[in-house]
Amino acid sequence: MSGQHASRPLSWRHRLLRGTLIALVMALMAVLVLLPLAAVFIEALSKGAAAFMDVLAQPETVSAIKLTLLVAVLAVPSNLVFGVAAAWAMTRFEFRGKALLGAFIDLPFSVSPVVAGLVYVLLFGAQGWFGPWLTDHGVTIIFAVPGLVLATVFITLPFVARELISLMQAQGSEEEEAARTLGASGWQMFFRVTLPNIRWALLYGVLLCNARAMGEFGAVSVVSGHIRGLTTTMPLEVEMRYNEYDYMGAFAVASLLGLLALLTLVVKALLEWRYGDELAARATRGH
Amino acid sequence: MTLELSHLHRRYAGFAALDDVSLRIEPGEFLALLGPSGSGKTTLLRILAGLDYPDSGSVRQNDRDLLAVDARQRKVGLVFQHYALFRHLTVSENVAFGLRIRPRKSRPSRAEINERVERLLKRVQLDDLGKRYTSQLSGGQRQRVALARALAVEPDLLLLDEPFGALDAQVRVALRRWLRNLHEELGLTSVFVTHDQEEALELADRVAVMNRGRIEQIGTPEAIYQQPATPFVCEFIGKNNRIPLQRANGVLTGGQRQLGADPWPGNAVGSAIGYVRPEHLLVSSAPSQGGWAAQLRHIYLAGGVAHLELDVPALGQVLEADMSSDEVAQRGLQPGQALVVQPRLITAFPLNAQGEADAAARHVLQPQAAP
């Protein structure tokens, strides 16, 4: 597109419109995205690098980082397995309720995270449907790590599945059928044919899933109970420090999440640049 | 290895993909499944490969129930229409796939696999492309990789789905001859699906013509072309002029000309449908018995053969007749000329009261026998 436009002389009105639009978008991006991101890092380092490192070394911070990693380590692989299974079911089988399954996979994107958290409290909380039974059997879900993991799994459910469904739809099942006629077992077919074909899309989905799992606030906030050192993840730690007027500490923890976001962005851009054709579901077939 | 398919039925939501199909595939033969899209030919192929199953009916291979065998154990090589090559593997790795995934007991050694792959690549004339990825190959090359990959597991039966469908015309003809030679060398029982009659008639030992989930006719290419068994085969294979015929008082007439005795005595009056191939229409300048007056509308010269378009008022339709281009030149035929056409061979089917043709009552007339 841009090449075609460049070769044709534009009228001054066109040029003005184009310039204004670009400037407007740039200014918005600067005010809404870049400025806050820069503010996070500036504020985090406002009392010097030593104070910054001091905050990170505090036991509450260390525990929040560990908990965030633990939740991600549990939630992301479960969604990886679920995502592959769901994508397989959606693209390789015909069954009743397929459209409904597709809608349910997308549900976490349309439900407010707070509502998701509250539902888990209703189900597993001390006064909830299954709460008393669980308490009798010594299982605590709400205000504990299992609740955090459950809420995070729910919120990040669609990332891997959605990424894979569109790709596997476009690729079709012929290669898998070919593997079967060549004597491959189900697992051989999956690991030697399906997985290599979807690996970059899978990685892409996992990346987005991880970023959200570590950054999730709403749903996690409801089920956490904010017990310092036990059930606070990094986003919750940021909020608690902020509420305690420890602005510098809040921004120091927030800067770690900011770094995670930047890292995710870089890897995402790399994936899109290198394997864009395999991600965009433009399956190359012998037509 | 004889394959005996009997009374196969397969329904998809709303339509019958296979409707009572029975077929015997002889050892070493090259069989074509020919039909328009939706005729059930690909379904039949997929059932043989174990990728689809019939609702009822059986497939027996030397008295073994093939349907009870899983696709991976059938020893059937399948070449897909779009090849379905593994895009993340090289040509050599594609060909070696079926050998490498075998359980350790039955897996050949690495050296053996490499040797076999090389031999196969040489056979399909791709021996210097083993390290390429399949996206770097042309259509014809991909097709041959798919074939080598299917042959690597030493199948008892080779299945090809529209093997030349995705290739351009020139490659198609070359690859067709090459495949025929390969089949003769290997002696492997092969079944291929095609909608291209030229392909089927040129390549196959036998052709099964399919329509709406049924086998209309099965036979050698000569039989299919010379003795079409049903109205569908008449219309689908080659060109045919479709002529309405009338039966009355023991005589069969078409376009007010007597063509012979009514071959279906019993019902005294009725109508029939006749098919005449363009090469079976005799075109002459002098009026003769059994001929229709016609006006030459157009001459289409197609190399050695000329197609004549003849307007026949008695039939109210245009007939097509073929003759050699030399003959057209010798006789100095010109558009607009008045001529007489006479059918030499008619394949005729009686029509019932609902206007449906009765394929079983097919009759071949040779009107030129009458002086």
Subunit contact B87:A197, Cβ cutoff 8 A: yes
Count interface pairs A-B at CB distance under 8 A: 75
Measure B322 CA to nearest chain A CA, in Å. Answer: 36
Regarding beta strands B206-211 and B30-34, do their DSSP bridges make them parallel or antiparallel, or are they unpaired? parallel
B86 at interface of A, judged by CB pairs closer than 8 A: yes
- Is A39 in a helix, a strand, or coil? helix
B138 at interface of A, judged by CB pairs closer than 8 A: no
Q: Which tens digits make up the pLDDT trace of A208-227?
A: 999 999 999 999 999 988 88
- Measured from the Cβ of residue A171, the count of other Cβ atoms closer than 10 Å reads 22
**Among the partner residues A181, A185, A286, nearest to B76 by beta-carbon distance:** A181
Subunit contact A193:B82, Cβ cutoff 8 A: no
Give the pLDDT of residue A6. Answer: 52
As given in the structure block, the two tokens for residue B246 are 């009338």
B106 at interface of A, judged by CB pairs closer than 8 A: no
Subunit contact A185:B72, Cβ cutoff 8 A: yes
Give the residue on A whose Cα is nearest the Cα of B136. A286
> Which residues of chain A have a CB within 8 Å of the CB of B78?
177-178, 181
Give the residue on B whose Cα is nearest the Cα of A178. B84
As given in the structure block, the two tokens for residue A243 are 């509420």
Position A251 pLDDT exceeds 60: yes
Subunit contact A177:B84, Cβ cutoff 8 A: yes
- Which backbone phi and psi does B310 adopt, to 5 degrees? -120, 125
**Among the partner residues B76, B86, B98, nearest to A193 by beta-carbon distance:** B86
Give mean pLDDT, residues A32-41. Answer: 91
Point out which residues pair with B351 in neighbouring strands. Answer: B357
| Confidence band, pLDDT 50/70/90 cuts, at residue A243 | very high
Give the pLDDT of residue B368. Answer: 57
Sheet of B346-350: strands edge to edge?
B257-261, B251-254, B241-248, B270-276, B346-350, B363-365
Give the residue on A whose Cα is nearest the Cα of B81. A286
**Among the partner residues B50, B80, B135, nearest to A178 by beta-carbon distance:** B80
As given in the structure block, the two tokens for residue A217 are 């606030």
Q: Which tens digits make up the pLDDT trace of A77-132?
A: 999 999 999 999 999 998 889 999 999 999 999 999 999 999 999 998 888 888 88
Closest alpha carbon to B237 in B216, B265, B267: B216
pLDDT means per 10 residues, chain B with 371 residues, are 92 89 94 93 94 94 90 91 92 95 92 94 90 91 93 93 84 86 90 93 95 95 94 94 90 87 78 94 77 92 92 94 92 91 92 86 77 41
- What ipTM did this prediction achieve? 0.83
Subunit contact B101:A180, Cβ cutoff 8 A: no
Give the pLDDT of residue B268. Answer: 64
Domains in chain B: ranges and CATH: 3-229 (3.40.50.300), 239-369 (2.40.50.100)
| Mutant choice from B43, B46, B70, B88 vs A, greatest count of A C-beta within 10 A | B88
